Structure 1
Amino acid sequence: MVQTDCFGQAATLPMAVGIDNWNATQMAFLAHGASTPDHLAATLADDPDFALAHAVKGMFLLLLGRRELVETAQSAYAAARLSDQNRPVSSRERVFIAALGAWLDGYPSKSVALFDALLAERPEDVLAMKLSHALRFVLGDAQGMRQSIESVMHAYGPDHPGRGYLMGCHAFAFEETGEYGRAAAAGSAALEISPDDAWGLHAVAHVYDMVASPEKGLRWLSGKESAWAHCNNFRYHVWWHKALMHLELGQTDVVLDLYDTLIRADHTDDYRDISNATSLLMRLELEGIDVGDRWDELAVTSQARTEDGSLIFADLHYLLALVGGRRADATATLVKRIAADGQRSGNEAEMRMANPGTAAAMGLEAFGEGDYGAAFSGLSKARRHMQLAGGSHAQRDVFERLTIDAGIRAGRTKEALAILEDRTARRAGRDDQFAKTRREMMGTLTAPLRVPAE
């Protein structure tokens, strides 16, 4: 009743069922492959009583950050527990079931702790490693990502089939903790071992964003499209990185073309796709670029998500869409709901609604209304804890830009300059074009800049 998967881990599956589909599920997940759910469905079709597959399905659903999928994840949890009762599984597999349960209870940090304990015993468990990494990314725990990866690296020798993907995770952890040279080296090595490691490839793209080297970034991505063509919606995010590089070079026509043909070609309501689109349009608008009616479909889509509340990262990007699309009523509804969730502070999602969510949401609403003093107050207050919203430095930078611009427009240039200086320090001490133009603005500004509210 127990088989060994391609990573040497035991899986409670009957010998007659085979393990090929489960192996394919794990390999696709490591590569952010679009085929992951198909392989998982085939695995469960092979054996509806495979408890580990049910648990992983539940975690995959929760990673999508959608309120309506929680019930389906709960069903997966119930199925995993029932399967364990009917056909007891290993202690290792029970960790995945327990991690799903903790997450469903609203405490993903407890899920991380469970994976940490498992990895202390089984450092070579690549599935646990990748899920722990993904959870820490959602929680904004950059140091934890790095410590977790470095604690298991000794178990990934040249013959470990997950070595390349581990190195890709290490590259991203290096980048998020400011080790840009080591991140680029690790990401490049990851691609040499696992050419489909889109996560490692994108980690290096992050490096070139942080060190303001768009030309090098474009050279890095050029010719490597096969590393992300197979991906799920993560491929849109890699194209987003390419658009950021062109924006840094002032090539706004290219940026808008990438937006229309690749980044937002599919009008999905996945929060990750919404975050790509809204943060890119907001960056363009802050540079005075007319984005036409592109906000409209984002605003309509986001208006339907105002009651979600799964992730503050998602909610803040829905809010960007509503502010950009000038949906004042929906904006107010979402801000009010974030504040109400923050008042409860009953679980980790609600704690993040309280901090940094409520102040950030109020700041974004005020920015849309042209009240830049209030916008700066809210955004600068949230800024101290914005990493708790999750995501990456590059993704959160749109809020940093809005904070700085709100300060400039409110005439609070000294405070805005201090934030800009801190931003530059975290970006290897290099000013990008945003920083350079804002320094020029603050050097010449003699009165508060006011942009009329529309």
Structure 2
Amino acid sequence: MNDRYGLELSTSSASARDSYVEGIDRMLSAEAGVEECLSAAIAADPDFALPHAAFARHHQLYVRPAEARASAETAVRLSHGTTPREQQHVEIVRLLVAGQVPQALDLIRQHIIDYPRDAFALAPACGVFGAIGFSGRIGREAELLALLEPLATHYGDDWWFATVHAFALIETGQWDRGRQLAEHALGQRPSTPHGAHTLVHALFEAGADDEAVDFLDGWLAESSRASVLHCHIWWHYALVLMAVSRHDDAWQAFRDNCLPGATTSPPITVFSDSSSFMWRSELAGKPRDRDAWQRVREFYEERFPQPMVFVDAHVGLVYAVLGETAQLQACIAQLQELGEAAQLPAGTTGASLTRAYAAFENGDWATAIDVLEPLIPQVVRIGGSRAQRDLMTNTLLAAYVKADRPDDARAFLERVTDRQPSRPVQGLVAA
């Protein structure tokens, strides 16, 4: 029994094998139906370790830690006596679920030397929310591309590898080549949300907003709300609608698909996309929806009792907008303390960003600029894509405009030579 990549599987059940392979493909493509496929694999062969490992990762993505640990423990127990590849594969998942991400990344690097086509073991290192993306290292984008490029010969024209390779290229400024690979992946598997998401990033980087709207108009009509990327792709759609001045349509898309309660996507995506879109809408000159901000605040406090990378870079927006000074200052103090103690991958970046948002909301443009200017080269440490980190760059541009410093805004834009995204910031064109 082999998987789609030719790797041996320790099961004698063809039904278990087929359901597992389909479940993994759905996870790699971010399609719906993962739990049904993995459950079917386990039902067909309860002693098959790998579906339990996949379930552990699935639970982890949805911030279900108890379930993730239980599935990982079952996978470890069942993996005894299986192939060395499967045992190491399961150990990678166990380390990830246990929060030992650097150790997991080290093991992934070792694992792919012997098993370069173990896609599901490689996947946690990929993307902006992966083990490298959340490493807190400034050079993480180039680091990921360097990990993937030597593996291209092993994967050939595989749609999954083309997608992750394309995204890594786009994040290092090679969005033309990235677009070609993304289109190739979509040609093989048109339903893949990961492929659609990657193509939209390429179009965003090129400033091809109308083309992105046209593509998503068609692709989203056939997409499933149950996809892990449902919220995030609609967030992209709302952003490009904003970029083409269709603000009412942007807000409708956002309300129906991104706000807490409107989507079943992972909490990290729901919170960061919601707070980011609403702040960026206000930078574009649209009125504030305080009720929506309150809804996001309640979601944050319910789902994130502890600091979490990337989330930390957005929570200050919520408290600043709602005028909750005590919570805002407590948040800054906590992030500063944890950052200085090296307990956050991004160090004190989250604390500094929160200070900048507080200053911006208070109309203290000079302080916002003084904090953000030296911070912009560092924000790659928080994780997320270039498109997501435009939250910070657009805030700096808005501060320049409001401080009547148009020359500084122009100089900033001139320094960015490898991207051409639209920046809906009120007054920026006139500056």
TM-score bracket, normalised by the shorter chain, equals 0.7 to 0.9
Q: Which residue does the alignment assign to 2:333?
A: 336
Q: Distance in 2 between matches of 1:247 and 1:29?
A: 30
SS of residue in 2 equivalent to 1:19: helix
What's the offset of the Cα at 1:155? 2.0
Q: Which residue does the alignment assign to 2:83?
A: 90
Q: Which residue does the alignment assign to 1:373?
A: 366
**Structure 2 counterpart of 1:327, which letter?**
E
1:174/1:182 contact within 8 Å kept: yes
Give the structure-2-normalised TM-score.
0.87
**Structure 1 counterpart of 2:398, which letter?**
D
2:56/2:72 contact within 8 Å kept: yes
Q: Which residue does the alignment assign to 2:36?
A: 38
Q: Which structure 2 residues correspond to residues 139-150 of structure 1 after superposition, within 5 A? A: 139=135, 141-150=140-149
1:356/1:383 contact within 8 Å kept: no
1:306/1:318 contact within 8 Å kept: no
Give the structure-1-normalised TM-score.
0.83
2:13/2:44 contact within 8 Å kept: no
2:319 to 313, 318, 322: 322
**Structure 1 counterpart of 2:58, which letter?**
F
Q: Which residue does the alignment assign to 1:60?
A: 58
1:289 to 286, 289, 313: 286
Rate the CA distance shift 1:235–1:47 in 2: closer, same or farther, 3 A. same
2:414 to 409, 421, 431: 421
2:56/2:97 contact within 8 Å kept: no
**Structure 1 counterpart of 2:49, which letter?**
A
What's the offset of the Cα at 1:20? 2.4
Q: Distance in 2 between matches of 1:116 and 1:393?
A: 25
Q: Which runs of 5+ in 1 are unaligned?
A: 442-454
**Structure 2 counterpart of 1:116, which letter?**
R
Q: Which structure 2 residues correspond to residues 159-198 of structure 1 after superposition, within 5 A? A: 163-198=158-193
Q: Which structure 2 residues correspond to residues 200-211 of structure 1 after superposition, within 5 A? A: 200-211=195-206
Q: Distance in 1 between matches of 2:278 and 2:45?
A: 45
Q: Which structure 2 residues correspond to residues 267-306 of structure 1 after superposition, within 5 A? A: 270-292=267-289, 293-305=291-303
Q: Distance in 2 between matches of 1:357 and 1:433?
A: 23
Q: Which residue does the alignment assign to 2:8?
A: 10
The C-alpha deviation readout for 1:329-351, integer Å capped at 9, x for no partner, is: 333333232223213214xxx23
**Structure 2 counterpart of 1:372, which letter?**
W
Q: Distance in 2 between matches of 1:297 and 1:60?
A: 26
Q: Which residue does the alignment assign to 1:115?
A: 108
1:195/1:227 contact within 8 Å kept: no
Q: Distance in 2 between matches of 1:58 and 1:395?
A: 27
Q: Which residue does the alignment assign to 1:445?
A: none
CA RMSD of aligned residues (A): 2.8
Q: Which residue does the alignment assign to 2:258?
A: 263
Rate the CA distance shift 1:326–1:240 in 2: closer, same or farther, 3 A. same
What's the offset of the Cα at 1:413? 5.9
What's the offset of the Cα at 1:227? 6.2
Rate the CA distance shift 1:76–1:366 in 2: closer, same or farther, 3 A. farther
1:201/1:227 contact within 8 Å kept: no
Q: Which residue does the alignment assign to 1:449?
A: none
2:31/2:192 contact within 8 Å kept: no
**Structure 2 counterpart of 1:266, which letter?**
A
2:283/2:425 contact within 8 Å kept: no
What's the offset of the Cα at 1:267? 6.0
What's the offset of the Cα at 1:390? 0.9
Q: Which runs of 5+ in 2 are unaligned?
A: none
Q: Which structure 2 residues correspond to residues 387-406 of structure 1 after superposition, within 5 A? A: 387-406=380-399
What's the offset of the Cα at 1:102? 3.6
Query: Which structure is richer in relative contact order (CA contacts within 8 A, separation 6 or more)?
Result: 2
1:29/1:36 contact within 8 Å kept: yes
Q: Is residue 360 from structure 1 mapped to residue 353 from structure 2 by the alignment? A: yes
2:394/2:423 contact within 8 Å kept: no
Q: Distance in 2 between matches of 1:263 and 1:123?
A: 36
**Structure 1 counterpart of 2:9, which letter?**
A
1:246/1:255 contact within 8 Å kept: yes
**Structure 1 counterpart of 2:332, which letter?**
V
Q: Distance in 1 between matches of 2:393 and 2:106?
A: 31
Q: Aligned residues, how many? A: 422
**Structure 2 counterpart of 1:247, which letter?**
M
Q: Distance in 2 between matches of 1:355 and 1:227?
A: 42
1:99/1:114 contact within 8 Å kept: yes
Q: Is residue 351 from structure 1 mapped to residue 345 from structure 2 by the alignment? A: yes
Q: Which residue does the alignment assign to 1:235?
A: 230
The C-alpha deviation readout for 1:154-177, integer Å capped at 9, x for no partner, is: 12345xxxx112112222122111
2:26/2:33 contact within 8 Å kept: yes
What's the offset of the Cα at 1:75? 3.2
Q: Distance in 2 between matches of 1:77 and 1:288?
A: 47
**Structure 2 counterpart of 1:351, which letter?**
P
